[in-house]
Amino acid sequence: MKRLDDCKLYVITGEAYHPGRELLEVMEAAIRGGADIVQLRDKTSTGAALLAKAKALRALTRRWGALFIVNDDLEVALEAEADGVHLGQDDLAIGEARRLAGSRLLIGISTHNLAQALEAERAGADYIGVGPVYPTPTKPGRAPVTTSYVAEAAARIRIPFFAIGGISPETADDVLAAGARRLCAVSAVTGSADPADVCRALKRRIAEWEARDAGGEPGAEDVRVTVNGRDVATRSGTLRELAESLGLASLRVMAERNGEAVPRADWAQVAIRGGDRIEFVHFVGGG
Ligand code: 3NM
């Protein structure tokens, strides 16, 4: 089973978006395309019918190793052995849900502004939804929070947050640019003729922004340098960053840039420019 921390794409059921196609078929396609979490959100079924859907989705997600969350209904979540329950602002309070579920369930909550997000974090939520970012037919009449709330959440919230509301491969880049690294969708995935393909596209967008995070500032350009005779693309701004990116900073290494020795104390001040020839020499022994 996945860890919540590793989950990037969250897909919520939306049966109204796929008339004539089975719930399980659509959600399995979503998982196949990369959905890490599936949520059962069904405002019309109750009782045995709701529980039956929850159990069927539990079996499906277990088979694929995806997380399974039930919207609103903590009892159904427990009974179906879901991984979590998702609450709205007007549902059960987080503290009360925690008291009833203990550590058996992850607890998520929808938030629509920073105050609600901070309160959810303080109350012990495992994750939050941040939205609706854009107007969405799935929650008609709900004012969009826009990407400015996404940016606030990215700056202030430490628990995982999923941007939601009008998320699609077309809008994903703007939401990711605002700082989201986890996305949640209903209609774009469940209403598509090819849910797996939409999930793959969303996962690809997320992975690209994560790669930028790992490689330095968004938009930073690679420069090509020669390191010990090898052509290397780097975003390092200084000799020290280059040494660190190559795992050399803590070793006994001497450096030369364009034929001149650079004392280690100066590495952080020496800028790397395209075309530089860098030699790192590992010296062994001493005295
Ligand atoms: N919760 P779609 S927005 C279920 O902001 C839900 O808390 C939201 O649907 C929130 O991906 C939303 O079709 C609907 O826009 C998202």
Tell me the mean pLDDT in the region 252-262.
Answer: 91
Assess contact for 176 and 209: CB atoms under 8 A: yes
E strand or H helix at 97:
helix 94-101
User: Is the model's pLDDT at 220 over the cut of 60?
Assistant: no
Pocket mutation for ligand 1, best pick of 15, 70, 87, 138 (most atoms within 8 Å of C-beta):
138
Give the span between the Cα atoms of 137 and 210, in whole angstroms.
Answer: 29
How many other CB atoms are there within 10 angstroms of residue 100's CB atom?
Answer: 15
The secondary structure element, H or E, covering residue 195 is helix 195-215
For 70-96, write each residue's pLDDT tens digit.
Answer: 999 999 999 999 999 999 999 999 999
Where residue 53 falls among pLDDT bands split at 50, 70, 90?
A: very high
Helix (H) or strand (E) holding 102: none
Computed over every residue of the chain, the mean pLDDT equals: 93
Is pLDDT of 285 > 70? no
Provide φ and ψ at 2, rounded to 5°.
-70, 155
Active site residue 41: yes
Core vs surface per residue 102-117: b (16+ CB within 10 A) or e: eeebbbbbbbbebebb
253-257/277-282 β-pairing? antiparallel
> What mean pLDDT do residues 17-28 have?
98
Active site residue 99: no
pLDDT of residue 277: 94
Decide: 143 and 154 in contact? Cβ < 8 Å: no
pLDDT above 70: percentage of residues in the chain: 97
Q: What are the pocket residues of ligand 1 if the criterion is a CB atom closer than 6 Å to any ligand atom?
A: 12, 110, 129, 131-132, 136, 138-139, 164-167, 185-188
Beta bridge partners of 279: 256
Between 109 and 214, name the one with better pLDDT.
109
pLDDT band, residue 236 (cuts 50/70/90): confident
Q: For residues 242 and 253, what is the distance between their CA atoms, to the nearest angstrom?
A: 13
Residue 171 to residue 49: CA distance in whole angstroms: 35
- CA distance from start to end of the chain: 53
pLDDT at 287: 46
Nearest to 238 by CA among 253, 246, 48, 165: 246
- The count of C-alpha atoms lying within 13 angstroms of the C-alpha of 257, restricted to the half-sphere facing its C-beta, is 19
- Asked whether the predicted pLDDT for residue 278 surpasses 60, the reply is yes
Please give the residue that has the higher pLDDT: either 80 or 231.
80
Ligand 1 centroid to Cα of residue 51, in Å, is 22
Verify whether residue 139 is a known catalytic residue: yes
Please tell me which residue in 55, 139, 212, 235 is annotated as part of the active site: 139
Ligand 1 center to 277 CA (angstroms)? 52
C-alpha 210 – ligand 1 centre gap (Å): 24
Strands (E), 194-259: 223-227, 230-234, 253-257
pLDDT the model gives residue 218: 47
Q: What is the pLDDT of residue 183?
A: 98
pLDDT of residue 221: 66
8-state DSSP, 92: S
Which DSSP helix (H) or strand (E) runs through 111? strand 106-111
Per-residue pLDDT of 32-52, as tens digits, reads: 999 999 999 999 999 999 999
Question: Which atom of ligand 1 lies nearest, measured to the CA of 12?
Answer: 4
The pLDDT score that the predictor gives to residue 216 is: 57
Greater confidence, 268 or 113? 113
Where do the domains of the chain lie, and which CATH numbers do they carry?
Answer: 4-213 (3.20.20.70), 223-282 (3.10.20.30)
In this prediction, residue 55 carries a pLDDT of: 98
Q: Residue 136 — pLDDT band, cuts 50, 70, 90?
A: very high
Are 4 and 127 contacting, i.e. CB atoms less than 8 angstroms apart? yes
Of 8, 110, 168, 203, which is the active-site residue?
110
Work out which ligand 1 atom sits closest to the CA atom of 187.
13
Q: pLDDT tens digits, residue range 138-179?
A: 999 999 999 999 999 999 999 999 999 999 999 999 999 999
Q: Which of 86, 73, 40, 44 is nearest to 59 (CA)?
A: 40
